Structures are given as C-alpha cells and as structure tokens.
Amino acid sequence: MMENEMHEKEEIFSKVLRAGRRTYFFDVRSTKARDYYITITESKKTIEEDGSLFFKKHKIYLYKEDFEAFTALLNEMTDYVLENKGAEVISERHQKDFKKNFMSEKESAVIHELSSITFENI
C-alpha cells in the first residue's frame, strides 16, 4: 500500500460507547491531504435466522466544516427528547434492554432481589 493510502486509513484518536446491543465507535481519521474528519459507527448485534451472530454497521462521516451545525442540531434534538420524555425513561429502557439481551431470567431475578434489600434488612 502507498504511504498516502495507509495514512488515509490511520485512526488518530478513538473512543467507544457501549449501549446495550449497540456499540458506537467515534474515530478521528486523516484524509490524503492530512486533514482530520470524524467517523461515527453504530454496530448493532443481531442474531441471524440460522442462530449465528452478526453485527450490522452504519457509518457517518463528519467533516470539520459541519461540526458547528451538527453539534447545534444534535444538542437541540437531545434537549428536546430529554425535556419531553425525561432521562429516567431512557435509563429504564436501557436497563430492560440489557437484562433482556445479556442476562438470564435467573440472573435478573437475583439482581432484582438484591436491589430490593434495604439497610434495615441487614
């Protein structure tokens, strides 16, 4: 591979956000002209009909000339959701998704039982 092609694929800085069955990858990458841009990749774990595990991926490329408008619109949209549906609803949904997808019924029951213990019970 030529040096420019290798540099184009170079990840400069990366962060990962795990959210239930979805994982978000935030990567700063470099163009051939050595300018930076961001990719945001959503990877969602799914199970195929044959029972095999498959990760469905969606990617967004975000260039620095769009950062300000993108950030403003994202903040506006997240504020709207939180003001109209509340953070508690989102948190509860993620907890249910996590339990449904990653915990057996027995594990979920044990955690529920442990979470209902009060200081007076000890």
- Share the mean pLDDT of the chain: 78
When pLDDT is cut at 50, 70 and 90, the band that residue 25 belongs to is very high
CA distances for 52 relative to 21, 24, 39, angstroms: 15, 21, 27
pLDDT at position 7 is 46
If one compares 117 and 12, the residue with the highest pLDDT of the two is: 12
Looking up tokens 């595990």 gives: 53
CA distances for 58 relative to 24, 40, 104, 106, angstroms: 10, 8, 29, 34
For range 85-111, the mean pLDDT: 59
Domains with residue ranges and CATH for the chain: 1-66 (3.10.450.700)
Residue type, 51: G
- Which residues 6+ apart lie within 8 Å of 24 measured at CB? 16, 17, 40, 41, 42, 43
If one compares 114 and 69, the residue with the highest pLDDT of the two is: 69
pLDDT at position 8 is 45
Which secondary structure element, helix H or strand E, spans residue 72, and what is its range?
A: helix 67-85
When pLDDT is cut at 50, 70 and 90, the band that residue 99 belongs to is low
If one compares 42 and 50, the residue with the highest pLDDT of the two is: 42
pLDDT at position 86 is 77
